[in-house]
Amino acid sequence: MEYQLTNTQILKHPLKSTLIGLIVTLFCSCSAVAQSLSTDSKKAAKAFEKAEEFYSKHQYSEAKTEIKTALEKDADFVEALTLKAYIAMDEAKYSVARESFEKAVKSNANLIKSNLYYLAELELKDGDYTSAQKHFREFLSSKPTNERQFNESNGKLDQIEFALNAVKNPVQFDPINLGPEVNSQYAEYFPCLTVDNSTLLFTRRLPEPNSPAGFNEDFYVSSRNGSTWSSAQNIGKPINTALNEGAPSLSADGSLLIFTACELYGNYGGERNGLGSCDLFYTLKQGKNWSRPYNLGQTINSKHWETQPSFSADGKTLYFVRGIRDRQGSRTGDIYSSTLKTDNSWSKPEKLNRNINTNGNEESVFIHPDGKTLYFSSDGHQGMGSLDIFMSRKDSEGEWGPAINLGYPINTHKNENSLLISSDGETAFFASDREEGYGDLDLYSFKLPEQYKAQPVTYFAGKIFNKKNQAPLAAKFELIDLETGELVVESFSDPTDGKFLLSLPMGKKYALNANKEGYLFYSESFNLKEGTLAEPYQKNVPLSPIEVGEKIILKNIFFETGKYALQDESKIELNKLIEFLKANPSVKIEVSGHTDNVGNSEMNQTLSENRANSVAQYLHQNEIMQNRISAKGFGDLQPIATNETDEGRAQNRRTEFKVISK
C-alpha cells in the first residue's frame, strides 16, 4: 500500500527527521578522531579530506569520487564509509546508505556511535525488524551522548516490539484489483465514493512533458455495474486543467466535489487563485454538468497548505489536513475540522484532539458516512515504521477516542494511506503498486476485518417531481433524529432532474421531510434502530401544489396502540405542519384519523376521531387559529392497503391532512 505522494499531496521525506543535523553530526564525529583516522593509508586519508570539503559545499559528485578513491585504498575506512552513507541518505539512495553503514559498523561499531543508530533506522525503514532491534540495542549499550537519538531509540524499540507482534498476529487481508476499467499503466490513487457506492472518483497521474512537474493529475470517474466498474472517464472541464487537481472528496449524493489545487508553479488565474501553497476548492454538479471551481475561502484556507479533504455525509462537517513547512523544508500535517453554519459560512477550523494528532505527521483523513468513525494515516502513533492507517471512534460526548492501528498486513513498514470505506462498512479501497497491477499505483479493494468496520449506513434515493405535470423539482430535504430532534442531514434535490440521495446511518429512528414553496410537504419515516443493515430505500416523491382537495399522509405522527395521546416523537412532524401553515396563512386544512379493521368498528371510529382532535388541539396550542383547522375521524372506512397483512394494517393506521381552502 505504498504511495508516491505528489505536489497536490503531502511531500514527505521518509527519513527527513533523521537527516536534520547530519552534516554537523558528521563533522563533530570526524573532528573528534581527526588526529587518528581509522586508516593507515595516507592516500585514503587525503582523499577523505577532499571528500569532506566537497561535501561541505554540497558538491556530491566530486565528494563521491574522492570517497571511491579512499575506499579503494582502504575498504574498511570507517569515516569514508560513513560519509558515503550520509551522501546516499541525502540523495534518498537508502540501499546504498544501509550497505555503507553496515560495512562501517562491521569495521568498527564504536568509532562513530551514531552509525549504529542510522543503520537501525534504515533497517526499520526496510521492515527488517530483527536487525533494527539488534542495532538499536547495541547503540543504547554504547552509552551515546546524543540525547535525541537516545530517546528515539527507546521509542523505536517499543515500535519494533509492536511490529513484531503484529506480524505474528496478522489480520485478514485479501486485496482485489478493481480491474482495467479503473486502472491503467499510469498511477491511480485517492479514491472517493458516493454513499450508494455507485460512483467512484479518483486521481490519475498522466505524463505531461510540457508541465514543470513532468506530469498532470486529473480526476476520473467510474460507475458501478453490478460487481464491476465502467470504463473510467476524464471528468473534464472546468474541473480538470492543464495543471494538477488532487485529493478529491464527494458529498454523499455526488453533487458537491471538494478538492486540492496548488500554486506550486504559478497561480491558476481567475477563480483558481489560491491563498497559500495548496488550497481547497469546491464545485457543484447540476444534472451532468459541474460548475467552475471556487476557493473555499480564508476561513478554511490559509497561508500554509490545506489538502486531503473529507466531507461528512450529513453535509455539515469538513475534515482536512493543514500543514506547515519547517525550517528544514519538511512538511508536517495535522487534521482539522470545520462546520458549515446555517448561513453557509464555515466555522473556524479546529485541530482534532491528541488522540488523533501527534507531534508526527497526520494525513489522508476519511470520515465514514456514519459520522462516528474516522480513518487516517500517521507516523506519530505506534505503528509498523512509517505511515500507518489508524481508526478512531467518536464517543457519546462527541470526542474522538484512541487511535487503533489497522494491523499487519494492511499496514507494513512502507507508507500506507488514503483508505476509503464503503457506506456499509464492509469494503475498503486503497492504492498500491503491487507487482500484479496494471502499472504504477492501482486501486484495490478488500474486505475490512470486523473489528475495524464502521457503523453501516444505508440510503434513500429517488426523484422528486410535481405531481400534476411530472416536472422535476428542486426541493429541500431534512432528516431528523426522532428521539433528539437533531437535524441529521440537510440536502436538496437536483434542480435539473429532481434526483436526490440521502445517507441513513443505522441505529436511529428518523423523520424525513421534503418541502418546497408553493407545495404540500412530503413526510417519510425510517426506523433503523434494529442494528442490522436495511436495504436501500428507492422511491420517487411527488409533491402536490397547494390546491383544494390535495392531501398528504403524516407518517411521523405516533400514538400508543389503542390510545390517542400524542407521543413526543410526533412533535417534530407537527412542528413542520405548523411551519407550513404559518408560511401559508390563508390555507385551511382538515385533519383526519384512520384505523385498521381490527376490533370493533364503533371503537375504531371513536379512536380515529380522538386522534384527529389530538393533532388539531396541538396545532391550536401553537398559534394556529381554530377556524383554520377541522378534525374528522373515519375509523376503518377508508383503507389505503389490505387489512390482511401486518404491513397493510400499519399503512391504514394513519393521520392525514387535506387542504379545504387556500
pLDDT tens readout for residues 208-217: 887 777 888 9
Does pLDDT of 282 surpass 60?
yes
Cell triple for 577: 405542519
Grid coordinates representing 231 are: 470504463
Predicted confidence (pLDDT) at residue 605 exceeds the cutoff of 80: yes
Average pLDDT, the chain: 89
pLDDT surpasses 50 at 284 = yes
Question: Looking at 12-21, 59-68, 285-294, which range is the least confident one?
Answer: 12-21
pLDDT reading at 190 higher than 90: yes
pLDDT of 265 strictly over 60: no
Model confidence at 300, pLDDT cuts 50, 70, 90, reads very high
Dihedral sign, Cα of residue 245, residue 250, residue 251, residue 256: positive
Amino acid 79: pLDDT: 96
Q: Evaluate whether 221 touches 204 at the Cβ level (below 8 Å).
A: no
Task: Read off the DSSP letter of residue 440.
Answer: S
| Residues 343-387 pLDDT 10s | 889 999 999 999 999 989 999 999 999 999 999 999 999 999 889
The pLDDT of residue 634: 97
pLDDT, tens only, 169-184:
999 999 999 999 999 9
pLDDT tens per residue, range 107-145: 999 999 999 999 999 999 999 999 999 999 999 999 999
Out of 22-26, 216-220, 295-299, least confident range: 22-26
pLDDT above 50: residue 432:
yes
Give the CATH fold of the 16-168 domain.
1.25.40
Query: If you search the block for the grid coordinates 488522540, which residue do you land on?
Result: 355
Region 14-22: mean pLDDT is 41
The CATH number assigned to the domain with range 248-452 reads 2.120.10.30
Residue 440: band (very low, low, confident or very high) from pLDDT cuts 50, 70, 90: confident
Q: What is the mean pLDDT of residues 338-343?
A: 90
The whole-angstrom separation of Cα 63 and Cα 72 is: 14
The pLDDT of residue 276 is 74
Instruction: Return the C-alpha cell found at 334.
Output: 495535522
Say what the pLDDT of residue 272 is: 67
**Nearest CA to 193 among 423, 508, 449?**
423
Based on the number of CB atoms within 10 Å of its own CB, is 323 exposed (0-12), middle (13-18) or buried (19 or more)? buried
Residue 331 confidence (pLDDT) = 61
Q: What is the pLDDT of residue 434?
A: 82
Q: What is the pLDDT of residue 304?
A: 87
Residues 6+ apart with CB under 8 A from 426: 447, 448, 453
Mean pLDDT for the stretch of residues 154-166: 95
What's the whole-number mean pLDDT along residues 569-587? Answer: 95
Return all residues near 370 (Cβ < 8 A) that are at least 6 apart: 313, 425, 454, 455, 456, 457, 505, 506
Kindly tell me the sign of the dihedral angle through the C-alpha atoms of 48, 53, 54, 58.
positive
pLDDT at 21 over 60: no
pLDDT at 32 over 60: no
Confidence of residue 10 (pLDDT cuts 50, 70, 90): very low
DSSP-derived letter for residue 402 is -
pLDDT tens digit string along 68-110? 999 999 999 999 999 999 999 999 999 999 999 999 999 999 9
Looking at the structure, give the CATH architecture of the domain made up of residues 457-661: 2-Layer Sandwich (3.30)
Where along the chain do its domains lie?
16-168, 248-452, 457-661
Identify the pLDDT of residue 327: 57
Mean pLDDT computed over 641-651: 95
pTM over 0.75: yes
Decide: 64 and 87 in contact? Cβ < 8 Å: yes
C-alpha cell at 656: 392525514
Instruction: Check pLDDT > 50 for residue 203.
Output: yes
